[in-house]
Amino acid sequence: MDLVFDVGNTETVIGWFQDSELRGHWRVSTDSRRTADEYGLILVQLLSASGVGSSPVRAATIGSVVPAMTTVLRDACRRYLAVSAIDVNARTPLPITLDVDEPLTVGADRIVNTLAAQRMFGTDTVVVDLGTATTFDCITRDGVFIGGVISPGVKTAASSLTDRTAKLPRVELVPPQRVIGRRTDACIQSGIFYGAVDAIDGTVTRIREEWGSDNLLVVATGGLAELIGPHCRTVQRIEPYLTLYGLEFAREHLAGVEP
């Protein structure tokens, strides 16, 4: 069994693989104030509750945009699972190219999204990752990351709206029944949801025009992919756990395993 950790600013997604297949996944809060012991116990409990606690963990791979969390998770894996976790970052020797002005600043999530897109799709791809931030990763068919777009995430924008206004209530992020709201909460829901949808479609349209690729695939991933993606006209495929697969592909490559 192989574990992978996709550490985002808000949540950490943990996946476990067997024979290169994703067999399970969990979400926990990203909190660098927690100790290695706390995360170690969380891991043990998750594995036990899922019925896989008896299977030995062979490897662990971390992709993190929160540096403090990397050390904590590595210590937790070493102490509680008896494995040395691999940290995937811009210096990791992977079969992709970061063709941007400052390659060492590219986040681990965008790196493994590039690797996953090249392995899984083999065509020019825009990966729309819907998390704390919404990122648009532009990846060529040959696995070259040529840049992209970073914008506020859907929940980040929604929190900013309600936190900065005295009378606007927090609302659940769900597809509204209609665009024109007749109550304040319905108006907010519509604005947040369709604002996100149209922002994605508009940004992808601009990327498509600028890139000029003939066979551009648009893939949505991340925690909100299954909620937002189906409503976007430009999104052609939804792969909510693309980043987890990218981390497993990275582990396989570094271990010398043939695809």
Residues 67 and 31 in one domain: yes
Determine if the pTM surpasses 0.85: yes
Residues 210 and 83 in one domain: no
> DSSP secondary structure string, 132-174?
SEEEEEEE-TTSEEEEEEEEE-HHHHHHHHHHT-SSPPP----
Residues 229 and 200 in one domain: yes
Could you report the per-residue pLDDT of 119-159, keeping only the tens digit for each? 999 999 999 999 888 999 999 999 999 999 999 888 776 66
Residue in this structure with the two tokens 């998390």, named with its chain if needed = 131
Residues 73 and 105 in one domain: no
Residues 238 and 135 in one domain: yes
**Residue 11 annotated as part of some ligand binding site:** yes
**Residue 256 annotated as part of some ligand binding site:** no
**Residue 107 annotated as part of some ligand binding site:** yes
* pLDDT by residue, tens only, the chain of 259 residues: 899 999 998 899 999 999 889 999 999 999 989 999 999 999 999 998 887 766 789 999 999 999 999 999 999 999 999 999 999 999 999 999 999 999 999 999 999 999 999 999 999 999 999 988 899 999 999 999 999 999 988 877 666 666 656 455 666 777 888 899 888 878 888 888 898 999 999 999 999 999 998 889 999 999 899 999 999 999 999 999 999 999 999 999 998 865 5
Domain boundary among 40, 62, 88: 88
**Residue 184 annotated as part of some ligand binding site:** yes
Residues 67 and 153 in one domain: no
Distance between CA atoms of residues 120 and 244, nearest Å: 13
Residues 116 and 196 in one domain: yes
- In angstroms, the Cα distances linking 108 to 20, 23, 132, 166, 250 are 20, 22, 15, 37, 11
**Residue 8 annotated as part of some ligand binding site:** yes
**Residue 13 annotated as part of some ligand binding site:** yes
Answer yes or no: is 32 within a domain: yes
Range(s) of the domain holding residue 130: 97-246
At 73 the three-state DSSP class reads: helix
Answer yes or no: is 41 within a domain: yes
Answer yes or no: is 203 within a domain: yes
Residues 49 and 101 in one domain: no
**Residue 7 annotated as part of some ligand binding site:** yes
pLDDT given for residue 154 in this prediction: 80
Residues 50 and 134 in one domain: no
The per-residue pLDDT of the chain, averaged, comes to 90
Residues 101 and 219 in one domain: yes
Residues 188 and 225 in one domain: yes
Answer yes or no: is 252 within a domain: no
Could you report the per-residue pLDDT of 225-248, keeping only the tens digit for each? 999 999 999 999 999 999 999 999
Pairing of strands 125-130, 59-64: unpaired
Distance between CA atoms of residues 117 and 94, nearest Å: 13
Answer yes or no: is 255 within a domain: no
What CATH number is associated with residue 72? 3.30.420.40
Domain boundary among 62, 88, 114: 88
Catalytic site residues? Answer: 109
Where are the alpha helices (H) located in the chain, listed in sequence order? 36-49, 67-76, 108-120, 154-163, 184-211, 225-228, 242-254
- In angstroms, the Cα distances linking 202 to 59, 129, 136, 157 are 40, 15, 12, 17
Domain boundary among 88, 110, 136: 88
- Among residues 136, 148, 143, 135, which one has the least CA distance to residue 97? 143
